[in-house]
């Protein structure tokens, strides 16, 4: 968009440079006129405000907006050194030039020592213009240097925060991985025991164990979300449609004392993300907003197309410039202090009273957004509410049709031999028993070398390889590659407490891999094995 022409400005003329505002402390009107003439002769575009007393000088500095201060050295009831001290206290970044009729060497040295930029004698005003230019140039350079240093400090702070979150994420992912192994054993043995129990009271006790395990599994899923080690199923989505589908649920969630308004953009672009995870992001943000308004208030959900430019990307170390779709959730709640904002996405950090939250809601949001190659920002002031803005990359692909619902059919007794490779003994036993109860023959080993030895025996038929992803000496993907050269076409199912980068690229399943996330129950395991075995070979995933 072109700038409109200013009245009286010739077409095509270069706009005049901005005028430099100068504060001049001088009690002699003639000297003031001579100083302004010297500045005009130098061609400086200046606007000079002249003051004669201490009071007027202090009042002028308080108003600010000056780029330079000129001051006489000797004035009635006031002096240049006193003016310099005031200027350095009230406007330390503004250059100060002493202009005097007679300034001895000691006075000149004292002025420079006290912070004056330069001194000019009145009978040598030809030096004033160059002195002013130099002072202004040095001030601009100092300002640029301060801005660069501030930008560097901000970038370093953001980098430290990113490294801190990454370290916490690695720790959380490791904890979730180990915990998922334990939960797989707990859930597996509990399910198998339940199927053999006839005592109703004992079965109820087992149901409580399974419910507790399910709640624990939910916590580990949130930890995996924060650590960005989930398995996502991304597809092209209309974010407005996701909000519309959740509208009734969100209104029930927040209650009648909160007024919910949605403001979807009519021309909203599309995003590629996991629909279920996006719903989780929206629900977590809405719940967080609801909890910030215990006495009711206003909640707004809006969407828009935005462009994040290079300047924004440079100011945010984890952002790439480009086209994004924005989801904003704003509330009129109590807001947050800077101290809380600095820790808002840390797992287990919460401001709620004990028992009212796990501290994983916003950390889950952060992890999902980052794993979806997006960015999240928070704006909040105490007493002024909060706004969470989620930015997801825009795509030009068409919205994908929903997947057809798989028909559940009864299966006959299973058969076939499965090679199971799992370094955790308790997981190896429960998986093997779960499959054997369904009729499969299972050869269970604890490492890749033993698995390869079995595959090299040509007299041993194998229908499926089930392998953990993360194991000592040889990972699951490495083992699958080795076995593919020995047994081409052998189907593979990976299992893991979290997704290894060798198998999963940024949380998205690669074509041709089948994956089952721990913890799982025996029923889920058997159903997944059947799916893998029944899929055509070119689609087994």
CA dist 424 and 436 (Å) reads: 18
CA dist 450 and 394 (Å) reads: 47
The candidate with the shortest Cα–Cα distance to 322, out of 333, 313, 330, is 313
- How do 508-509 and 417-421 pair as beta strands? unpaired
Cis status, amide bond into 519, omega within 30 of 0: yes
- Between CA 253 and CA 260, with CA 257 as vertex, the angle to 5 degrees is 65
Q: What are phi and psi of 488, to 5 degrees?
A: -60, 135
What CATH number is given for 417-534 in this structure? 3.40.50.2300
Q: State the virtual CA torsion across 100, 101, 103, 108 in degrees, nearest 10.
A: 20
CA dist 468 and 155 (Å) reads: 39
CA dist 200 and 206 (Å) reads: 10
**CB neighbour list of residue 476: distance below 8 Å, 6 or more residues apart:** 421, 467, 468, 469, 470, 494, 496, 500, 503
CA dist 495 and 477 (Å) reads: 11
Domain range summary for the chain, segments of one domain joined by +: 20-141, 156-226, 235-395, 417-534
CA dist 399 and 279 (Å) reads: 17
Best CATH choice for the domain 20-141 from the list 1.20.120.1200, 3.40.50.300, 3.40.50.2300, 1.10.1750.10: 3.40.50.2300
Q: How is 268-303 classified by DSSP, letter by letter?
A: --EEEE-HHHHHHHHHHHHHHHHHT-TT-EEEEEEE
pLDDT score, position 223: 55
> Domain 156-226 class?
mainly alpha
The candidate with the shortest Cα–Cα distance to 132, out of 111, 142, 122, 117, is 117
Q: What are phi and psi of 323, to 5 degrees?
A: -90, 135
The candidate with the shortest Cα–Cα distance to 475, out of 454, 455, 449, 457, is 449
Which phi-psi region, left, alpha or beta, contains residue 445 (left: φ > 0; alpha: ψ -120 to 50)? beta
Q: Do domains 20-141 and 235-395 have the same CATH topology?
A: no
Question: Are 193 and 206 spatial neighbours (Cβ–Cβ below 8 Å)?
Answer: yes
Placement of tokens 């060798």 in the chain = 502
- Between CA 295 and CA 370, with CA 361 as vertex, the angle to 5 degrees is 130
Over its length of 541 residues, how does the chain's per-residue pLDDT go in tens digits?
333 344 444 444 455 566 888 999 998 899 999 988 988 888 888 889 999 889 999 999 888 789 999 998 888 888 889 999 999 998 888 999 988 887 677 788 888 888 888 888 888 888 888 998 898 888 888 888 888 777 777 766 666 656 665 665 555 555 666 677 777 778 877 877 877 777 777 777 777 777 777 766 666 655 555 444 455 567 888 999 999 988 888 888 888 889 999 999 988 999 988 787 788 888 889 888 888 898 889 999 999 999 888 877 777 767 888 899 999 999 998 888 888 887 777 766 666 655 455 556 677 788 788 878 888 888 888 888 899 999 999 998 887 665 544 444 445 566 789 999 998 888 888 899 889 888 899 999 999 999 999 998 877 889 999 998 888 888 888 899 999 999 998 999 998 775 444 345 434 445 457 888 777 888 889 989 998 988 776 444 4
pLDDT score, position 352: 61
The alpha carbon of 236 is separated from its chain's Cα centroid by a whole number of angstroms, namely 21
pLDDT score, position 328: 92
Q: State the virtual CA torsion across 291, 293, 296, 301 in degrees, nearest 10.
A: -80
pTM over 0.85: no
Three-class DSSP category at 511: coil
Placement of tokens 């033993």 in the chain = 450
Residues in the chain: 541
CA dist 84 and 474 (Å) reads: 73
User: Would you state the CATH architecture of domain 235-395?
Assistant: 2-Layer Sandwich (3.30)
Three-class DSSP category at 257: coil
pLDDT score, position 406: 45
pLDDT score, position 539: 45
CA dist 263 and 275 (Å) reads: 20
pLDDT score, position 505: 44
Radius of gyration for the alpha carbons in the chain, expressed in angstroms and rounded: 35
The candidate with the shortest Cα–Cα distance to 291, out of 248, 334, 233, is 334
Question: Are 258 and 225 spatial neighbours (Cβ–Cβ below 8 Å)?
Answer: no
Tokens for 485? 């050269």
Tokens for 82? 């006193």
CA dist 436 and 442 (Å) reads: 7
User: What distances in angstroms separate CA 203 from CA 188, 207, 332, 445, 526, one per listed residue?
Assistant: 15, 6, 48, 32, 22
Question: Within 10 Å of residue 294's Cβ, how many Cβ atoms?
Answer: 10
Identify the DSSP state of 145: H
User: What distances in angstroms separate CA 133 from CA 20, 118, 139, 254, 419, one per listed residue?
Assistant: 11, 11, 10, 62, 82
CB environment 180-194: b (16+ within 10 A), e (fewer)? bbbbbbbbbbbbeee
């Amino acid at each position: 968009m072109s700038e409109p022409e200013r009245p009286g400005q010739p077409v095509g003329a270069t706009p005049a440079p901005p005028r430099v505002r100068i504060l001049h402390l001088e009690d002699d009107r003639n000297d003031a006129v001579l100083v302004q003439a010297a500045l005009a002769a130098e061609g400086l575009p200046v606007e000079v405000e002249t003051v004669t007393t201490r009071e007027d000088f202090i009042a002028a500095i308080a108003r600010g907006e000056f780029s330079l201060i000129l001051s006489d050295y000797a004035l009635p009831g006031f002096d240049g050194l006193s003016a310099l001290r005031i200027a350095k206290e009230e406007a330390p970044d503004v250059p100060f030039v002493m202009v005097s009729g007679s300034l001895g060497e000691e006075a000149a040295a004292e002025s420079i020592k006290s912070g004056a930029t330069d001194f000019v004698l009145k009978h040598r005003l030809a030096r004033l213009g160059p002195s002013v230019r130099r002072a202004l140039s040095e001030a601009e350079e100092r300002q640029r240097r301060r801005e660069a240093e501030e930008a560097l400090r901000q970038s370093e702070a953001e980098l430290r925060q990113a490294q801190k979150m990454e370290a916490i994420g690695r720790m959380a992912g490791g904890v979730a991985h180990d915990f998922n192994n334990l939960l797989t054993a707990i859930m597996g043995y509990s399910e198998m025991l339940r199927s053999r129990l006839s005592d109703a009271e004992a079965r109820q006790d087992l149901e409580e164990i399974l419910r507790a395990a399910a709640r624990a599994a939910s916590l580990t899923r949130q930890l995996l979300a924060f650590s960005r080690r989930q398995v996502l199923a991304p597809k092209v989505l209309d974010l407005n449609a996701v909000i519309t589908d959740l509208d009734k649920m969100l209104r029930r969630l927040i209650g009648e004392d909160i007024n919910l308004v949605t403001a979807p953009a009519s021309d909203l672009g599309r995003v590629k993300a996991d629909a279920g995870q996006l719903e989780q992001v929206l629900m977590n943000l809405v719940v967080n907003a609801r909890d910030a308004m215990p006495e009711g208030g206003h909640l707004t959900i809006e969407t828009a197309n935005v462009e994040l430019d290079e300047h924004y990307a440079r100011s945010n170390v984890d952002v790439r410039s480009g086209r994004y779709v924005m989801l904003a959730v704003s509330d009129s709640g109590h807001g947050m202090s800077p101290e809380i904002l600095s820790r808002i996405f840390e797992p287990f950090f919460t401001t709620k009273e004990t028992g009212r939250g796990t501290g994983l809601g916003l950390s889950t949001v952060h992890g999902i957004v980052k794993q979806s190659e997006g960015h999240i920002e928070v704006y909040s002031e105490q007493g002024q509410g909060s706004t969470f803005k989620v930015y997801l990359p825009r795509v030009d692909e068409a919205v994908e049709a929903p997947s057809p619902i798989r028909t559940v059919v009864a299966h006959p007794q299973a058969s076939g031999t499965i090679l199971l490779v799992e370094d955790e003994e308790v997981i190896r036993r429960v998986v093997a028993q779960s499959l054997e109860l369904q009729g499969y023959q299972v050869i269970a080993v604890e490492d890749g070398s033993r698995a390869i030895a079995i595959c090299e025996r040509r007299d041993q038929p194998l229908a499926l390889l089930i392998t953990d992803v993360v194991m000592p000496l040889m990972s699951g993907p490495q083992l699958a590659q080795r076995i593919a050269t020995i047994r081409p076409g052998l189907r593979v199912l990976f299992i893991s407490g979290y997704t290894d980068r060798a198998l999963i690229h940024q949380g998205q399943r690669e074509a041709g891999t089948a994956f089952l996330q721990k913890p799982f129950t025996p029923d889920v395991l058997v159903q997944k094995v059947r799916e893998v075995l029944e899929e055509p070979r070119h689609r087994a995933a």
